[in-house]
Amino acid sequence: MPSALQKNLKMSNSVDCEITIRPAIPEDIPGILEMVLELAEFEKLADQVVATKEDYEESLFGAVPVAEALVAEEKNGFVGYAIFFSTFSTFIGRAGIWLEDLYVRPEFRKRGIGKKMLQEVGSIARERNAGRYEWCVLDWNQNAIDLYEYVGGEILDEWRIVRLNRDTLDVLPEK
């Protein structure tokens, strides 16, 4: 019996195609990186992509993996990916899952693939008894916002992301 992550999914469209969502393997990294660059272009952040194949090998499949990935594919190649990792909530006292990226290539959007990938990561969260399943969305990405609200996601307007990048970490005051 296939695992929850290795199901073949029949997506409806004018041209039916069979989509498989499965855990990523090391050989998938070049394809994932290609899609990461596509996402960065879409988000107008391509200048911020510095990740290498080696970074992904270490982060996803190294001695201490810090993230996991799913890929969605059809017979001609990858159509999307999801990258996620564990978080912790002090209020709930449990680990959660943070969805870092969910990307579906433009020509495959509006076919239910993004929704199915959200569900697959959600299944992992349920299996792990996660206290939360969270992610961010850009305020101008209305298609994504619509999908997230459709599946029951709550947009938390009162929270703001705070970030220290590598350069600011290096000069973070010690006092």
Considering the candidates 56, 103, 133, 148, report the single residue annotated as catalytic. Answer: 148
CA distance 33 to 131: 30
CA distances in angstroms from 150 to 59, 118, 147, 166, listed in the order given: 31, 11, 5, 36
CA distance 21 to 3: 10
Look at the block and give the residue holding tokens 């239910």.
Answer: 112
Q: Coil, helix or strand for 2? A: coil
56 is catalytic: no
Cβ atoms of 88 and 96 within 8 Å: the answer is yes
Residue 166: phi, psi to the nearest 5?
-55, -45
Strand partners, 85: 98
CA distance 28 to 60: 11
CA distance 135 to 101: 8
Q: Write out the catalytic residue numbers.
A: 148
